[in-house]
Amino acid sequence: MELNERKELAELLFPNIKHDRDYYEKMYPDRNLKEGAMVTRFGPSPTGFVHMGSLFGSFCDAVFAKQTDGVFYLRIEDTDQKRSVENGIEGIFNDLEAFNIVPDESSVVGGDYGPYIQSERTEIYQTYVKDLIEEGYAYPCFMSEEEIAQIREEQELSKIKIGIYGHYAVDRDLSLEEIKEKLCNKEEYVIRLKSPGNAENEIEVVDCIKGRMKFPEHDMDTVLLKKDGTPTYHLAHVIDDHLMHTTHVIRGDEWVASLPLHIQLFKILGFKIPKYAHTAPITKKDEGGIRKLSKRKDAEAKVSYYEEVGIPIEAVKLYLATILNSNFEEWYLNNSDKSIEEFTFTFDKMAIGGTLFDLDKLNNISKTYFSRKSGEEVYNETLEYAKKFDKDYALLLEKYEDDMIKFLSIEKDSDRPRKDISKYSDVKEEFSYAIDELFYKENYAKYDGGKQFSTSLIKKYVEDVLNLEATNEEWFNDIKEFAVENGYAASPKEYKKNPENYIGHVGDICEALRVMITGRDKSPDLFSIVKILGKSRVLERINRYENLTR
Ligand code: GLU
């Protein structure tokens, strides 16, 4: 077709386009950012929620934009109506907000490069496609689904590349007259790329994460606009990333295979190609193998899971930072007073293969996170959690506020604070002895069949010796002295030397006291617990223990 015919065709197909591409180029000028600033975007489909893979992606986007004083924007990619659900956009914003991942520009906060919802940009895509038609890089294709399925079958049988290319692209060279006739007959059509590529040529792309990659040139007549005039992902993202001035396209590596097409589209549209960073999928160990984390199979793939089980958002983000850059974890362990924002992330420290998502590791990171919080902070956050997910416990927490904060503060000021909590729901279990109602209800049940201790000696100790005003050293000396007076060795070492001389050692007395007042054989510093409970509650617990084990 000659240029004048192509022009006529373009008008015929897009009679209602109001502007030309210059209009949009002017409307979305270069961003005025400093050298090196990254413009990143998160492009979710409105499926109603964010899963771990896309949370990770948006976390990367936000981190890289922020640390370079760039822009991170959110673009809703709703070109595939099958993947859209009602209120799907709201769910995405809620999930991101819960993780404090806040785009600088979006359909909610606005921005100069909107609309930020692809379905509101149809006219823009069509404008560029109209231009491609004029230039001979696109054409209407009237092939029916049956015809395409038949071609596919044939290609599968002969084991050749699947798709519409070469002589399979039957409508590629229709004349203007033929097209007019089909349009007159109201035949349905899509707009396809008239690919200028040749698969015998090679193209090279340098990915920020995966490095140098080589591909055969794209040579398929891929669909650009669907029958209803809406764009495919391929076309839409290329036009949007150009007009919104994305500098770095960070996305899942399932898109690597389409990269030659995308590069071709950038070239024929005359756009500068952004940098690509393809992230490895989030995987998990399963039955000896490793597979992709699945929205369907894995509860932890849904980001709302963390809120429900009570893993703090910050801990999840620390974990994301850990899997984002392999050198983050060590840095965090050595910089206990710093926050994620103070670390400089780089692409070269990102995984090329799969990124293993390990809940145990996340729990460990969460324990470190909790260990660095003050007792009061842990109390406040746990109360917030309980108000939402465990109302009865919230009431108890409020009733025991002073005690709880004291319990949660035990051993906090040491160099190696305790790491006993990985989620808010652990507090109830780990500190059940802090609340009488829970302690008497749940803990005594656990004594059944356990090691039993004689209460008379412990009672004697509490009544005659225990001094709540003592220093730690005095308390321990007192208990040692008491042990010796009652036939126990002053240390396990001494006991081991001559076990026949003793009933046991001082540790046994501590253990008995610990079990009686906490219901557990391990606890934070015993004297601190005793001091918070006070003598009468300690005695009350010993008496109850006596009744229970009698
Ligand atoms: N809408 C695409 C998806 O949901 C986004 C891919 C991209 O970030 O370019 O997979």
Ligand 1 atom closest to the CA of 54, numbered from 1: 4
In this structure, the residue with its CA closest to atom 10 of ligand 1 is 44
- Span 191-216, pLDDT tens digits: 999 999 999 999 999 999 999 999 99
**Distance, CA 59 to ligand 1 centroid (Å)?**
14
Averaged pLDDT for residues 94-102: 90
| Residue 457 pLDDT > 90 | yes
For a ligand 1 pocket test, name from 39, 45, 242 the mutation site with the most ligand atoms within 8 angstroms of its C-beta.
Answer: 45
pLDDT at 76 > cutoff 60: yes
pLDDT number for residue 448: 46
For residue 42, the CA-to-ligand 1 centroid distance in Å is 7
Dihedral angle over CA of 386, 390, 392, 394, nearest 10: 0
**In the structure, what pLDDT confidence band is assigned to residue 452 with cuts at 50, 70 and 90?**
low
Best residue among 237, 250, 292 to mutate for probing ligand 1's pocket (most ligand atoms within 8 Å of CB) is 237
CA distances from 481 to 58, 325, 465, 488 (A): 61, 54, 10, 9
Percent of the chain scoring above 70 in pLDDT: 97
The percent of residues in the chain predicted with pLDDT above 90, rounded, is 79
Q: Which of 87-96, 303-312, 496-505, 518-527 has the lowest mean pLDDT?
A: 87-96
Q: Under DSSP, is residue 251 helix (H, G, I), strand (E, B) or coil?
A: strand
Q: 105: closest CA among 231, 245, 230?
A: 245
Ligand 1: centre distance to CA 214 (Å) = 22
Q: What per-residue confidence (pLDDT) applies to 270?
A: 97
Taking 60 as the threshold, does the pLDDT of residue 443 lie above it?
Answer: no
Q: 251 alpha carbon to ligand 1 midpoint, in Å? A: 6
Q: How far is the CA of 26 from the centre of ligand 1 (A)?
A: 26
Residue nearest to atom 3 of ligand 1 (CA): 44
Q: Is residue 400 scored above 70 in pLDDT?
A: yes
Tell me how far the alpha carbon of residue 150 lies from the centroid of ligand 1, in angstroms.
30
Radius of gyration of the chain (CA): 33
Question: Could you tell me the distance, in angstroms and rounded to a whole number, from the CA of residue 549 to the centre of ligand 1?
Answer: 62
Of residues 288 and 463, more confidence is placed in 463
Q: Which CATH superfamily, name and number, covers 3-21+122-279?
A: HUPs (3.40.50.620)
Residue 192 near residue 223 (C-beta atoms within 8 A):
yes
Omega of the bond prior to 115 within 30 degrees of 0, cis? yes
The length of the chain is 550
> Residue range 324-331: average pLDDT?
93
Mean pLDDT of 127-141: 98
57 Cα: distance to centroid of ligand 1 (angstroms): 10
Q: Which of 57-71, 444-458, 474-488 has the lowest mean pLDDT?
A: 444-458
Which pLDDT value is given to residue 328? 94
For helices 401-409 and 391-399, what crossing angle results, to 10°?
90
Q: What is the DSSP string of 162-187?
A: -SS-GGG-TTTT--HHHHHHHHHTT-
- List the chain domain ranges: 3-21+122-279, 31-120, 284-371, 373-440, 443-550
31-120 and 284-371 share one CATH topology? no
Amino acid 479: pLDDT: 95
Name every residue whose Cβ is closer than 8 Å to that of residue 407 and which is 6 or more positions away in sequence. Answer: 375, 431, 434, 524, 529, 532
pLDDT given for residue 449 in this prediction: 44
The residue whose CA has the least distance to atom 5 of ligand 1 is: 43
CATH 3.40.50.620 for the 31-120 domain, yes or no: yes
Q: Which amino acid is residue 507, in one-letter code?
A: G
The matching CATH number, chosen from 3.30.365.10, 1.10.10.350, 3.40.630.70, 3.30.1490.20, for 443-550 is: 1.10.10.350
Lowest mean pLDDT among 212-216, 323-327, 443-447: 443-447
Nearest Cα neighbor of 348 from 231, 249, 209, 190 is: 209
Contact between 371 and 419 under an 8 Å Cβ cutoff? The reply is yes
Residue 41 alpha carbon to ligand 1 centre in Å: 10
- 284-371 CATH fold: Glutamyl-tRNA Synthetase; domain 2 (1.10.1160)
Q: Which atom of ligand 1 is nearest to the CA of 57?
A: 8
Is 225 within 8 Å of 126 (Cβ atoms)?
Answer: yes
pLDDT, mean over the chain: 92
pLDDT value at residue 336: 76
Report the atom number in ligand 1 closest to the C-alpha of 255.
Answer: 6
Question: What is the atom index within ligand 1 of the atom nearest the CA of 41?
Answer: 8
Task: Yes or no: say if 156 and 188 are a contact pair by the CB < 8 Å rule.
Answer: no
What is the pLDDT confidence band of residue 80, given thresholds at 50, 70 and 90?
Answer: confident
- Better pLDDT: 428 or 446: 428
pLDDT tens-digit series, residues 142-193: 999 999 999 999 999 999 999 999 999 999 999 999 999 999 999 999 999 9
Q: Worst-scoring range by mean pLDDT, 297-306, 398-407, 464-473?
A: 297-306
Whether the per-residue pLDDT at 277 is higher than 60: the answer is: yes
| 414 has a pLDDT exceeding 90 | no
Q: Is the pLDDT of residue 355 over 90?
A: no
Q: Has residue 521 got a pLDDT over 90?
A: no
Ligand 1: distance of its center to the CA of 43 in Å? 5
List pocket residues of ligand 1, CB cut-off 6 Å.
43-45, 77, 233, 237, 249, 251
Give Cα separations from 24 to 106, 114, 482, 543 (angstroms).
19, 11, 87, 81
Q: What is the side-by-side order of every strand in the sheet holding 248-252?
A: 71-74, 39-42, 248-252, 275-279
What atom in ligand 1 is closest to the CA of residue 77?
1
Alpha-carbon distance 357 to 351, whole Å?
A: 12
CA dist 439 and 340 (Å) reads 38
Higher pLDDT, 450 or 322: 322
Task: Give the other-Cβ count within 10 Å of 148's Cβ.
Answer: 14
**Dihedral through CA 356, CA 359, CA 362, CA 368, nearest 10?**
-140
Whether the predicted pLDDT of 58 surpasses 50: yes
State the residue for tokens 């080589």: 214
Residue having the nearest C-alpha atom to atom 9 of ligand 1? 251
- Has residue 544 got a pLDDT over 70? yes
Instruction: Give the predicted TM-score (pTM) of the model.
Output: 0.85
Does pLDDT of 253 surpass 50?
yes
Q: Which residues pair with 252 in a beta bridge?
A: 279
pLDDT at 482 over 90: yes
The C-alpha atoms of residue 499 and residue 314 are separated, in whole angstroms, by 50
For a mutational test of ligand 1's pocket, the pick from 47, 64, 72, 255, i.e. the residue with the most ligand atoms closer than 8 A to its C-beta, is 255
Compute the distance between CA of residue 263 and CA of residue 274 in angstroms, rounded to an integer. Answer: 9
